[in-house]
């Protein structure tokens, strides 16, 4: 069980940015207890207002599913909510031609009272973890670029310059056969979590993200600093992030091992 003196602090922020005319991103910070919460970043797409509709509908479906409990129960809720949101968007697109083809990324992280985290991933928004001297990306981008890197067809250092860098392979609401990456990680006191849209991760190197998270102890201040840095770096998209910190009145556990997200197997 998690230490009763442990608590979770979280904050989120989303801005339109300097280029886009409206904001299609949505952030979700929904506490379920002192040590538990559902966190999410959804980056909508589809033209006109459709992207904003897709991300908003998805966030509302996620919010209706917010719950605490054991790892398998919460993992099932996360998976079910993402799939339900996708089905809702598909049905809306069939009824309203102006919404046909809309979709959204969904990076969802549910922290239980036992400090187990379930990560649901669709698209190219991201989740990171800062633990001790380690800073790691917990999610895998569901993009053509990432697939080509994994197949040895593209060098990682060439990824940002790839002309097809904005091609994602999965989005909530675009397919009846949605594949959700579902993983889990056990959190510790002292851990810092970052969820963000590609408007942030595309504008800032991981080293900058890490530097800000180490320097800004307050999650709200960390969000402000990250977004300010992305805009100053010339971000061309909406910019959104959620930052959460696991706090304890006691000394944090030693971070002796590199954090690793494991596949969560549901019955």
Residue 224, both tokens: 């402000």
Q: Which residue has the tokens 């190219």?
A: 124
Cα 233 from Cα 155, distance rounded (Å): 24
What residue ranges define each of the domains in the chain, with the CATH number in brackets? Answer: 6-263 (3.60.40.10)
56-114, pLDDT tens digit by residue? 999 999 999 999 999 999 999 999 999 999 999 999 999 999 899 899 999 999 999 99
Q: Quick one: which H or E segment has residue 86?
A: helix 71-95
What is the pLDDT, as a whole number, of residue 254? Answer: 55
159-177, pLDDT tens digit by residue? 877 887 778 999 999 988 8
Which phi and psi (to 5°) does residue 235 adopt? -55, 135
Cα 196 from Cα 187, distance rounded (Å): 19
Instruction: For residue 126, give the 3-state DSSP assignment.
Output: strand
| DSSP 8-state assignment for residue 172 | B
- C-alpha distances in angstroms, 17 versus 126, 133, 232? 19, 31, 10
161 contact partners, CB below 8 Å, separation of at least 6: none
> CA nearest 234: which of 193, 260, 204?
204
What angle do the packed helices 206-215 and 219-232 form, to 10 degrees? Answer: 140
The rounded Cα 147 to chain-centroid distance in angstroms is 19
Strands 103-104 and 106-111 come out as unpaired
What is the widest separation between alpha-carbon atoms in the chain?
56
* Dihedral (CA of 55, 51, 102, 167) sign: negative
Instruction: For residue 76, give the 3-state DSSP assignment.
Output: helix
* Dihedral (CA of 160, 177, 183, 213) sign: positive
Q: Which residues of the chain have pLDDT under 70?
A: 1-4, 47-49, 250-257, 265-267
> CA nearest 54: which of 43, 38, 66?
43
Cα 4 from Cα 44, distance rounded (Å): 38
* Dihedral (CA of 36, 220, 142, 61) sign: positive
Tell me the pTM: 0.92
């Amino acid at each position: 069980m998690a230490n009763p003196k442990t608590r979770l602090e979280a904050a989120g922020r989303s801005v339109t940015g300097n280029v886009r005319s409206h904001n299609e991103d949505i952030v979700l910070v929904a506490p379920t207890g002192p040590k538990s919460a559902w966190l999410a970043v959804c980056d909508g797409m589809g033209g006109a207002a459709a992207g904003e509709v897709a991300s908003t509908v998805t966030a509302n479906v996620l919010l209706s599913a917010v719950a605490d409990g054991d790892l398998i129960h919460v993992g099932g809720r996360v998976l079910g909510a993402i799939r339900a949101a996708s089905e809702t968007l598909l049905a809306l697109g069939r009824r309203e031609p102006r919404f046909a083809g809309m979709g959204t990324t969904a990076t969802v992280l549910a922290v239980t009272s036992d400090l187990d985290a379930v990560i649901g991933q669709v698209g190219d928004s991201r989740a990171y973890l800062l633990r001790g001297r380690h800073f790691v990306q917990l999610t895998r981008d569901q993009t053509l670029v990432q697939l080509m890197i994994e197949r040895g067809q593209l060098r990682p250092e060439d990824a940002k310059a790839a002309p097809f860098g904005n091609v994602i392979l999965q989005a909530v609401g675009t397919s009846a056969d949605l594949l959700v990456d579902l993983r889990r990680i056990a959190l510790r006191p002292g851990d810092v979590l970052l969820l963000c849209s590609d408007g942030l991760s595309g504008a800032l190197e991981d080293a900058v993200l890490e530097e800000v998270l180490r320097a800004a102890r307050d999650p709200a201040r960390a969000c402000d600093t990250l977004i300010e840095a992305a805009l100053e770096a010339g971000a061309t998209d909406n910019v959104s992030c959620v930052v959460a910190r696991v706090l304890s009145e006691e000394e944090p556990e030693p971070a002796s091992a590199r954090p690793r997200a494991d596949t969560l197997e549901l019955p």
